[in-house]
Amino acid sequence: MMRRLLQPVWVLLAVIFLIEAWLWDHLEPIVARAVALIPLRTSFEDSAAERHAAWSAFLHGVRGTIVWDDDGSIVGADGQPSARARALAAQTREFQALAPLVWATVPHRDAVAIVVSQESFRIGWLLDRQPEGGHWWERDAEREGGPNAWRTAREQAAGPLFGQGLNPVWLATADVIPEAVEVVVLPHTLALSDAELSALSGPAAVVRVTDAQGLATGLVVQLLDGADGQLVAIQSAQPGQTSRALTVELRQAAEVTDVRTGQVFGRTQTIVITLDAIDPTILRLRRALPP
């Protein structure tokens, strides 16, 4: 008797699950596009590394931060904002002031490309498994995000380029190389098709950054193209302890302004800056008229 009474309930639940699966299959692409329109990041702590990461994310186009407060570090027991909350508020206000300028630009692309070869990744995995065996489907999310030779080679190839203001074009395959590309970097590439070999038959940087020892290292230099000029954002690759004196040399003279401090350098090709150990220096380059 009870089974007969519950049968309509089970049928209803089955119908609901089918409808849910159908809706998700059809709505997932829409949800993915909506999420991609507003890139977000998460914040779990108050530290120099977190402040550094927030600036890096902002300059890469992230539009907001989800703040986790599982330990009560945002609002104190007395209901007042904590030091972490005040630091977040100050940084957010600066982001809001700079957002119209930064988000009106697009990443500058140079005549250099980096090929991220998926075929090489799979072949490398198979070669690594030969001694011990294993199956591709045994890879889990932890393995995907963990360190490996393929990812390390890619980071080591891109790091020096970013450090000197060269923004590469990223390619999933080398069989179609954009005409503007003059140099192709192939980090940890183990397999190339005939089409890729056929397509692979020294770009000048917009900026050059030096210190007292010569060509500066340990930096991320981003170029963003706008309607009336460019932004050059210079940040330490990792949060440090002390500031650095740097010289920024431009390929062409421009009207230069530090958009964070408001300092005006005038029309020049050489700018001397003091780079903070955590926060970036953001220079605005307006196209200069010839003398």
Together in a domain, 130 and 169: yes
Between helices 83-102 and 48-59, what is the axis angle to 10°?
20
Together in a domain, 96 and 131: no
Kindly state whether residue 145 falls inside one of the protein's structural domains: yes
pLDDT band, very low/low/confident/very high, at 117 (cuts 50, 70, 90): confident
Together in a domain, 195 and 211: no
Together in a domain, 73 and 120: no
Kindly state whether residue 165 falls inside one of the protein's structural domains: yes
Q: State the total domains in the chain.
A: 3
Average model confidence (pLDDT) across the chain:
81
Provide the pLDDT for residue 263.
Answer: 95
Show the domain range for 248: 207-287
Whole-model pTM: value is 0.65
Kindly state whether residue 4 falls inside one of the protein's structural domains: no
- Phi, psi of 122, deg, nearest 5: -70, -40
Q: Which two tokens stand for residue 99?
A: 């957002």
Provide the pLDDT for residue 77.
Answer: 78
Together in a domain, 115 and 144: yes
Q: Where is average pLDDT lowest: 100-109, 126-135, 200-209, 266-275?
A: 200-209
Kindly state whether residue 11 falls inside one of the protein's structural domains: no
Domain termination residue (choose one: 85, 103, 121)? 103
* Of residues 126 and 83, more confidently modeled: 83
Q: Express the helix, strand and coil content of the chain in percent, nearest 5 each.
A: 35, 25, 35
Contact 249, 262 (CB under 8 A): no
Together in a domain, 123 and 174: yes
Domain termination residue (choose one: 152, 175, 199)? 199
Between helices 118-129 and 149-163, what is the axis angle to 10°?
140
Domain termination residue (choose one: 199, 219, 246)? 199
